[in-house]
């Protein structure tokens, strides 16, 4: 079953002459284990696509299905619950709460969803440990490096039962080594069975994905074929 399906999704902002078509006729499907990258320049509609995929915003027309549940017609509360349980977000600027420790940042969404505090903290500690942050659990965001903060954000996005990971330029201003580390974590989560959508303008980040779709002016215009095995690269010409 697909974790995320978008059918003919269109989003229009404004009215009349000032109308802007942010995304148009988007069809997209992400199954468990998929890592999908959406590549496009700024202003191409990729962030809008992601907020609609995560039910933070409603499309003007078209359907979004998360975990087999059709979003249109769902109450605001039901959507919020579905979002808390199923969807994790990673943002460019991490969006950690500065007054909470790494552990509290990760356990908070679980507690909001009714998981008892002790259990939420156990799950959060496990998620942080998995990302190599077991010694940083009690640190506040401003005591962590950029790479560590992004790891906390990924732990928060994947903690508990969440299995759809949505990331908007997840390596933000990190250097290329930390950017690679972020994509390794996202890929590892997908290999464990999560599905992920990463929107980025960065080809190196996108190339960690199994499939890359290209967005221009709100439309998906192209996508990569399933790449052949890397061995073919290493057998190429032995020119001097």
Partner 1 sequence: MSVRHALLALLSEGPKYGLQLRQEFEERTGDVWPLNVGQVYTTLGRLERDGLVEADDAHEDERQRGYRITAEGEKELAAWFGTPSEAGSPPRDELVIKVLVAMRVPGVEVGDVIQIHRRHLVELMQQWTRIKEDEGRLDLALALAVDAELFRLESVVRWLDAAEGRMKRSSLGPAPAATPRPRLRLRARSR
Q: Which residues bind partner 1 (CB under 8 A)?
A: 39, 41, 180, 184, 187, 201-204, 206-209, 212, 214, 216, 221-225, 227-230, 232-235, 238-240
Cα dihedral value 160, 153, 55, 7, nearest 10: -90
CB atoms within 10 A of CB 61: 14
Residues 6 or more apart in contact with residue 148 via CB below 8 angstroms: 102, 133, 136, 139
Residue nearer to partner 1 on the CB measure, 30 or 39: 39
Rounded CA separation 188/42 (Å):
27
Minimum distance, C-beta of residue 222 to partner 1, in the bound complex (Å): 5
Residue nearer to partner 1 on the CB measure, 1 or 177: 177
Minimum distance, C-beta of residue 224 to partner 1, in the bound complex (Å): 5
Residue nearer to partner 1 on the CB measure, 1 or 226: 226
Residue nearer to partner 1 on the CB measure, 42 or 75: 42
Tell me whether residue 106 is exposed, middle or buried, using C-beta atoms within 10 angstroms of its C-beta: 0 to 12, 13 to 18, 19 or more.
buried
Minimum distance, C-beta of residue 9 to partner 1, in the bound complex (Å): 22
Rounded CA separation 90/150 (Å):
8
Residue nearer to partner 1 on the CB measure, 102 or 181: 181
Please calculate the CA angle 151-82-14 and round it to the nearest 5 degrees: 90
Minimum distance, C-beta of residue 58 to partner 1, in the bound complex (Å): 29
Rounded CA separation 181/131 (Å):
10
Minimum distance, C-beta of residue 4 to partner 1, in the bound complex (Å): 21
């Amino acid at each position: 079953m697909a974790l995320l399906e978008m059918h003919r999704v269109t989003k229009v902002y404004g009215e009349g002459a000032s109308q802007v078509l942010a995304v148009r006729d988007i069809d997209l499907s992400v199954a468990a284990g998929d890592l999908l990258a959406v590549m496009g320049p700024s202003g191409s509609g990729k962030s809008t696509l992601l907020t609609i995929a995560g039910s933070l915003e409603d499309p003007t027309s078209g359907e979004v299905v998360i975990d087999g549940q059709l979003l249109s017609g769902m109450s605001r509360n039901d959507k919020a619950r579905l979002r808390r349980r199923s969807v994790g977000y990673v943002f460019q600027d991490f969006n950690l709460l500065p007054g909470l420790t790494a552990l509290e940042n990760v356990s908070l969404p679980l507690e909001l969803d009714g998981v008892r505090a002790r259990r939420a903290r156990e799950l959060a500690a496990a998620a942080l440990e998995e990302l190599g942050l077991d010694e940083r659990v009690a640190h506040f965001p401003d005591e962590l490096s950029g790479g560590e903060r992004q790891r906390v954000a990924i732990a928060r996005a994947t903690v508990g039962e969440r299995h759809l990971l949505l990331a908007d330029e997840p390596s933000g201003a990190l250097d290329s080594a930390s950017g690679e580390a972020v994509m390794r974590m996202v890929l590892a989560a997908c290999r464990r069975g999560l599905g992920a959508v990463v929107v980025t303008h960065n080809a190196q980040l996108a190339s960690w994905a199994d499939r890359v779709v290209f967005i221009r002016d709100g439309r998906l215009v192209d996508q990569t074929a399933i790449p052949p095995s890397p061995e073919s690269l290493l057998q190429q010409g032995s020119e001097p």
